[in-house]
Amino acid sequence: MLRVLALASVVLLGIAPQASQAITVYTSWERHALVGSDVRLSCSFFSWRFVSEDVSFTWRYRPDGSRDSVSIAHYAGGEPYTDNKGAFKDRVEFVGNPKRRDGSILIKNLDFSDNGTFTCDAKNPPDIVGRPSSVRLLVFETLPIQAGVITGAIIGVVLGLLVLIVVIYYLMRFLVARRVFSLSVSRNVEGPQLCILP
């Protein structure tokens, strides 16, 4: 009876993960870059299996406002292949380390026509069921200040100073009471008691 149970559990554990687990691909959500600069688009994946020899990464580019996407980089069989005909000729380089589940690419000398969506699709045979992940690239002439950065910074600094002043005040009081420091300033004597009414 026990043997049957052990055999059944081994079989189930062997079959079930293959059916239900999938590969998950991670990229950034959005990247901002300056015209003429380089940008590194990162792509990594999570898979329950070890990285196989046939791991593959495919990068596709879809310009803003277009429906078609074109392949610009591919890594398969241990070799990277990059665009040698299209808009990204000689500009894209595979800089990831597939053994470490990293399939990042480096795009050099950006132009305004590079605005668009880059999709990374990773496959780790036999783990091939997964959804590709996309990162949006925005190319600016001058990097705009992101919404809320200055606001948050001002609020944070002022509140931080407030908390700091309160903490220092109570710390000084505590230390004076403990006779660690001694203050030579004497407290003001109260003046005559006046009422504010005429």
Partner 1 sequence: MSASLMPRACRRKVIMLVLIALSILHIAAIILLLAATIDNAWWVTSTTSTDVWGRWVLTNNKWNMTDLPNNYPTDYLQAVQATTVLACIFSIIGLFVFIAQLFTLPKGRRFTISGVFQALACLFIMIAASIYTDRFHTNEKSIGNYGHSFILAWIAFGLTFISSIVYFVLRKK
Give the residue with the Cβ less far from partner 1, 26 or 140: 140
CA distances from 99 to 77, 87, 145, 157 (A): 12, 29, 37, 43
Q: Which amino acid is at 55?
A: V
Least distance in angstroms from the C-beta of 198 to partner 1: 7
The H or E element spanning position 117 is: strand 116-123
Least distance in angstroms from the C-beta of 156 to partner 1: 9
User: Which tokens in the block code for residue 84?
Assistant: 């040698």
Q: Which residues contact 72 (CB under 8 A, 6 or more apart)?
A: 59, 60, 61, 82, 83, 86, 88, 92, 105, 118
> Is 77 among the residues that bind partner 1 (CB under 8 A)?
no
Looking at residues 134 to 153 of the shown chain, list those that interact with partner 1 (rule: CB under 8 A). 144-145, 147-153
> Is 183 among the residues that bind partner 1 (CB under 8 A)?
no
> Is 193 among the residues that bind partner 1 (CB under 8 A)?
yes
> Is 161 among the residues that bind partner 1 (CB under 8 A)?
no
The H or E element spanning position 150 is: helix 149-177
Give the residue with the Cβ less far from partner 1, 9 or 151: 151
> Is 53 among the residues that bind partner 1 (CB under 8 A)?
no
> Is 185 among the residues that bind partner 1 (CB under 8 A)?
no
